[in-house]
Amino acid sequence: MTKSKKQVFNRRGFMGLAGLTVSSIAFPLTPLKEETDNGSVPMASSRAAVSYRTLREGNVFFDGEKVVVTAYKAMRFFKKEFSHHFNKMRIYRMECPDFKFGTDYGEYFPALDYKQAELIFHDKMQPLLDSKFHFEDKTVQLGTTYCYWMASAEGEPEGPLAVRVRDPEVWWNYDKVRSKVESLGKKYPSLVKVSEIGLTTHKRPYVGLNVGKGKKCIALVGAVHAGEAGPEIITYVLEKLLENHQDLLKKVSLVVIPSANPDMRDRLVRGNPWYLRRNPNMVDINRNFPADWDSVDATYGYSTDDPQSNTYRGMYPGSENETTAIIGFIKKHKPKLLLSYHCLASIAGETFAGSKEALQNPAFMERCNTYARMFWGAMDYRDAKQEKIYFMCTAGSIPTWGYKELDMPAFDLEAPFDPADLAQCKQDHTDQVLLKKYQEKHLKGIVALLKGIDAEKK
């Protein structure tokens, strides 16, 4: 029973970074005094200490510089009589080099055993308000996934809790995206307008931008799926367009949502080790659009009508704050085309995916192909075999919505053509060098699209 209980708590511990439960007390129902003929006497202290499980709630996150591990005592253990259990706290840590982003999920971690971990702290830890333990690990390495266990003076440690230490320059959180776009607005007030176009699920302002003065425009949408690409590439492109291509922006402008699922992206920035896709309501925003929403799809082995699936479409079309904000903003500006950034770990490549519904409409497919060819034509690395649009996007997706509702070519940007780059981002090994390469690629591709749209007759 103890074993199954431990497994349950471990599972709960991995369901998200907010309010993690490290574990509970192993035998909370065991009396701490034993009844004897002579009345109650204290239990042998060794037995109490060995069986005693200290920490009730815990949390682990990366704050941009260090990993923080915290845990709370249960109320009853505030009492002085238990204080000796907390004389020396222990923190164990283990690196998890073979954990694969997007392949393994939470089940990888519970199988790990603290006995193989390193004891990185064994000392007195003063609890805050006599209840909360707080440990800072400043010796972590960027790009490494760790498991932590926490323990009192004796007994089995609680854990593991997993965290991935991601480069904050490669994974931008909400605040960073917002401050970057606001600084562009301040630097180029006549060309950049930053707006709050709605609210995120967590009720934070949802950021949209208008860049340029042209009547015709292109739309860019970043990181609808939290673990994928967007703000880091898009913001770089905007910065460089404003530095070097203002003439072009006066002819064709951009409407931009740099980070379309920022609540969940922040969890990844804070160290959630495995791939996250949906919004905080566990809805896949890219299945929630009012475009054939009723038809159930089973791509990737997930059913869109299953609330537990990673591609859950939501309660009704447009049920999510993020979806309605995107719809309102895009409809208002009527772009010529839309690029939505996907793939993995801040990198999207040259692969274009369009709505599978468009396969019924050769004229629309040709419009899509014209734009994709403009983009590919600007690339240094060309691959004729890969230069084709995959018309595979499903019901409820942005590309299908673009086609059905707005007669607008809209694409999910997916894998890099270069297999080595794809392998690197798929494993969450994107570094600043790889990111820079794709920032430059997309800058070239978008300049080509702006020029191509400018040259169009209408």
**Binding residues vs Zn ion (CB under 5 A):** 225, 228, 342
Q: What are the tokens at 313?
A: 């479409």
Determine the Cα angle at 318 with ends 317 and 320, to 5°.
125
Of 180 and 342, nearer to Zn ion (C-beta) is 342
Of 55 and 264, nearer to Zn ion (C-beta) is 264
The rounded distance, in Å, linking the Cα atoms of 212 and 246 is 8
Angle between helices 321-333 and 398-406 (to 10 degrees): 40
Question: Nearest distance from residue 399's CB to Zn ion, in Å?
Answer: 11
Question: Nearest distance from residue 379's CB to Zn ion, in Å?
Answer: 21
The rounded distance, in Å, linking the Cα atoms of 317 and 374 is 33
Of 59 and 311, nearer to Zn ion (C-beta) is 311
Nearest to 241 by CA among 285, 191, 309: 191
Name residues whose C-beta falls within 8 Å of residue 131's C-beta, 6 or more positions apart in sequence. Answer: 72, 73, 75, 78
Of 225 and 356, nearer to Zn ion (C-beta) is 225
Of 16 and 102, nearer to Zn ion (C-beta) is 102
The dihedral over CA atoms of 147, 152, 157, 161, expressed in degrees to the nearest 10, equals -30
Of 184 and 345, nearer to Zn ion (C-beta) is 345
Q: Residue 328: what are its φ and ψ, rounded to 5°?
A: -60, -45
Question: Nearest distance from residue 225's CB to Zn ion, in Å?
Answer: 4
Question: Nearest distance from residue 128's CB to Zn ion, in Å?
Answer: 40
Of 60 and 398, nearer to Zn ion (C-beta) is 398
Give, as one character, the DSSP assignment of residue 171: S
Question: Nearest distance from residue 246's CB to Zn ion, in Å?
Answer: 32
Question: Nearest distance from residue 304's CB to Zn ion, in Å?
Answer: 14
Determine the Cα angle at 52 with ends 47 and 56, to 5°.
175
The helix or strand, by DSSP H or E, that contains position 138, with its residue range, turns out to be: none
Bridge partners (DSSP) of residue 41 are: 34
Q: Determine the residue with CB nearest Zn ion.
A: 342
Question: Nearest distance from residue 24's CB to Zn ion, in Å?
Answer: 37
Q: What are the tokens at 154?
A: 């004796």
The rounded distance, in Å, linking the Cα atoms of 426 and 395 is 25
Question: Nearest distance from residue 348's CB to Zn ion, in Å?
Answer: 9
Of 100 and 451, nearer to Zn ion (C-beta) is 100
Bridge partners (DSSP) of residue 341 are: 413
Question: Nearest distance from residue 340's CB to Zn ion, in Å?
Answer: 8
Of 413 and 450, nearer to Zn ion (C-beta) is 413
Q: Residue 32: what are its φ and ψ, rounded to 5°?
A: -85, -10
The rounded distance, in Å, linking the Cα atoms of 433 and 274 is 22
Determine the residue type at 153.
A
Nearest to 351 by CA among 288, 421, 405: 421
